[in-house]
Amino acid sequence: MGKIIIAIDGYSSCGKSTMAKQMAKSLNYIYIDTGAMYRAVTLFALRNGFLSKGELNQSELLDVLHTIDVAFKHNSTTNTSETFLNGKNVEEEIRGLEVSSHVSKIAQVKEVRAKMVDLQREMGKDRGLVMDGRDIGTVVFPNAELKIFMTADYKIRAQRRFDELQAKGDTITYEAVLDNINSRDMDDTSRTENPLIQADDAIVIDNSNITPEEQLQIALNHAHNKIA
Ligand code: DC
């Protein structure tokens, strides 16, 4: 049975990475979270003082871009893949608020994207891969055998994210979460470099009114058809 490449793109907070991980597990494929890669570069920029007061000093970042190494390693205790920046585990730190609020600035930089796309193609050279992001089916793997574009109503995405944050004890308001989702959608779709666009040959899954289990089943059915 041949191994395929599965590209999953879509809006933020619509469950892409959860579904991508489940698909990879079920198919015994590798899972790559490309958002984590942009987050790791953002952490590097923050640590080196290239991002301050929301402004990026792009030329300083580009001068040292070649020294940035982003990789994934499997943690056998938690059975998850973790993000490493220049050899150090940064999985926790890249999920924090500081990185989250600066990452879209970094994701707009052409040279950063070119470097990440090269790394992502290298990671997919043996196929058998589920990769999620914003430009996977359009730019990184335009010939991927299966492309899925995930979406959900923005109010439903905001409610889900709000519930998740509340469960963690966060005191953020629903309105603040909604604003954040809207601005992330705007950043993702309006940037010049590799914006979020639905590939012509992508299968669209709108999960506003279906359960995660139903969604996974739909996606896996498509994958099994392609693999067969
Ligand atoms: O999926 P995420 O929220 O972890 O993504 C973090 C940021 O990186 C977000 O601003 C979108 C951006 N991104 C991107 O531009 N291209 C990708 N392939 C993946 C993420």
pLDDT of residue 101: 87
Sign of CA dihedral 176, 149, 106, 119: positive
69 touches 76 (CB < 8 A): no
Tell me the per-residue pLDDT of 142-174, one tens digit each, with 9 for 90 and over. Answer: 999 999 999 999 999 999 999 998 998 989 899
Distance CA 75, CA 73 (A): 6
Q: Tell me, in angstroms, the distance from the centre of ligand 1 to residue 198's CA.
A: 15
Distance CA 31, CA 149 (A): 17
Whether residue 1 has pLDDT greater than 80:
no
pLDDT of residue 56: 96
199: region left, alpha or beta (phi > 0 left; psi from -120 to 50 alpha): beta
Distance CA 8, CA 183 (A): 21
pLDDT of residue 52: 86
Q: Tell me, in angstroms, the distance from the centre of ligand 1 to residue 217's CA.
A: 25
Tell me the per-residue pLDDT of 190-201, one tens digit each, with 9 for 90 and over. Answer: 999 999 999 999
pLDDT of residue 2: 86
Residue 177's H or E segment, with its range, is helix 174-190
What average pLDDT does the structure give for the chain? Answer: 95
pLDDT of residue 200: 96
Give the residue whose CA is nearest to atom 5 of ligand 1. 35
The atom number, within ligand 1, closest to the CA of 140 reads 18
Give the residue whose CA is nearest to atom 6 of ligand 1. 35
Mutate which of 18, 33, 34, 100 for ligand 1? The one with the most ligand atoms within 8 Å of its CB, which is 34
47 touches 41 (CB < 8 A): no
Question: Where is average pLDDT lowest: 37-46, 93-102, 112-121?
Answer: 93-102
pLDDT of residue 78: 85
Domain CATH code at residue 189:
3.40.50.300
Q: Tell me, in angstroms, the distance from the centre of ligand 1 to residue 1's CA.
A: 32
Longest dimension (CA), the chain: 52
The atom number, within ligand 1, closest to the CA of 100 reads 6
Residue 13's CB is within 10 A of a number of other CB atoms, namely: 21
Whether residue 140 has pLDDT greater than 80:
yes
Distance CA 39, CA 185 (A): 17
Mutate which of 8, 123, 134 for ligand 1? The one with the most ligand atoms within 8 Å of its CB, which is 134
Q: What are phi and psi of 80, to 5 degrees?
A: -130, 165
Q: Residue 38 is part of which domain span?
A: 5-227
The pLDDT-based confidence of 97 (bands split at 50, 70, 90) is confident
Whether residue 105 has pLDDT greater than 70:
yes
**Is the entire prediction scored with pTM above 0.85?**
yes
pLDDT of residue 145: 97
Considering its fold, how many domains does the chain have in total? 1
| Residue ranges lining ligand 1, Cβ < 6 Å | 12, 34-35, 38-39, 103-104, 107, 133-135, 188
- Work out the average pLDDT over 100-115: 95
Give the residue whose CA is nearest to atom 8 of ligand 1. 35
Give the residue whose CA is nearest to atom 4 of ligand 1. 35
108 touches 6 (CB < 8 A): no
**DSSP label of 95:** G
